[in-house]
Structure 1
């Protein structure tokens, strides 16, 4: 497939701070996914963080709605919280919502997802990697299409997108004209082009981050954290444009 223009392959970068957003924008990202706690799989960001990110960069920003780590089956109270968070994030300028909820048997929580679709009408609704935690990820795709889902973020049911590339390629062939397939998990500048060629999709998702260490002032213990690296984003962008 042609890879000679930014419009051909969209690059989404997963971020957790204003600094990440600026770095991703500088590196050539096309879209941002805003989370807190990326090391926990991504959690709902604050309204203030969303507003500051939107103020800092001129890119579409989709916001995660996930109230806790450790699974995707939620209590009624948690589902109400997710709807409230989504409503507030959309009101604050989120360009779309990224979320997901499952039933105990691994099927889609259709009632919640329909309510979220109705709430976010006119803006993208993305089902995240909860898809990759069920025994038969493909079984969720048609229900998601039926409920008007914009796209799914997936590693093909595997730990990394490279391992799941053949499965994602099959889904792209079967469902790609009804649902956007967004491969993610372990995307790097080195494998970005091979992934696009193997899968046949037109977008990729990655964090493109490096481990950083906080500056110690002598009385504060040094801490490590991950931060978006503009050079890695730029390298992925250049590879996809080449």
Structure 2
């Protein structure tokens, strides 16, 4: 039986999430600081997004940039963020925690998943920096995760396509393997053929020119252009996937 393709869009703002929905995305992963790999969005962003989205809303739970080995205090922060997602009626959370050896921190993950209760769980790209992605896949399955997000441990999903394909075979329908990192209208069909995956993760962004409020020649790191999900780019990917 064929499975309908799914596009999840990583959205770094409410505007981006709404553009993803307008473009036909099937799911949003809401986060902040997307250029740094993504962080947990603010409570305000979550609340407004939940009010306006009618497609599934998953929330990235990541308290800081850097590695995925978290302290007890960071664990407390993540649990509270997950609990807020439950209260708000989000559809899922996106998690990942490793131990100092690079393996999945099963104790921490079990606690986070318990806090998530009925919400769906995606294991995020901590998988790509784990000691053994194949073993991490089995751990994610044992934890009951719905899917893993991966670039095949390479800078982009296209570069990691061979590894992603092997993970899809290994998963054997027990969990969804979702390619992400550099997914676009220019390569999504190729990725589907190369990997055998049917869920894909993209940001589908365009650069938005900042409003110039006056001459500030000495300030270069504030008020500049920024990237936001573009509904037309999302629509292009959705259309290409629907034609396969």
Q: What range describes the TM-score normalised by the shorter chain of this pair? A: over 0.9
CA distance in 1, matches of 2:25, 2:215: 37
Partner in structure 1 of residue 94 of structure 2: 98
Matched, 1:131 2:132: no
Partner in structure 1 of residue 229 of structure 2: 228
**1:148-167 superposed matches below 5 A:** 148-167=144-163
Matched, 1:41 2:48: no
CA distance in 2, matches of 1:92, 1:57: 13
Aligned residues: 238
Please, which runs of 5 or more residues in structure 2 have no aligned partner? none
Larger mean Cα displacement after TM superposition, 106-115 or 46-55: 46-55
- Which deviations, in whole Å up to 9, do the C-alpha atoms of 1:103-141 show, x marking residues without a partner? 000011111111122222322111100100124211211
Q: CA RMSD in A?
A: 1.6
**1:29-178 superposed matches below 5 A:** 29-178=25-174
| TM-score of the pair, normalised by structure 1 | 0.94
Q: Would the aligned equivalents of 2:99 and 2:105 in 1 still touch at CA under 8 Å? A: yes
Alpha-carbon shift at residue 51 of structure 1 (Å): 1.4
- Which deviations, in whole Å up to 9, do the C-alpha atoms of 1:144-191 show, x marking residues without a partner? 211111111000111100011111111111114111111100001011
Please, which runs of 5 or more residues in structure 1 have no aligned partner? none
| TM-score of the pair, normalised by structure 2 | 0.93
CA distance in 2, matches of 1:18, 1:143: 33
Matched, 1:18 2:14: yes
CA distance in 1, matches of 2:14, 2:39: 16
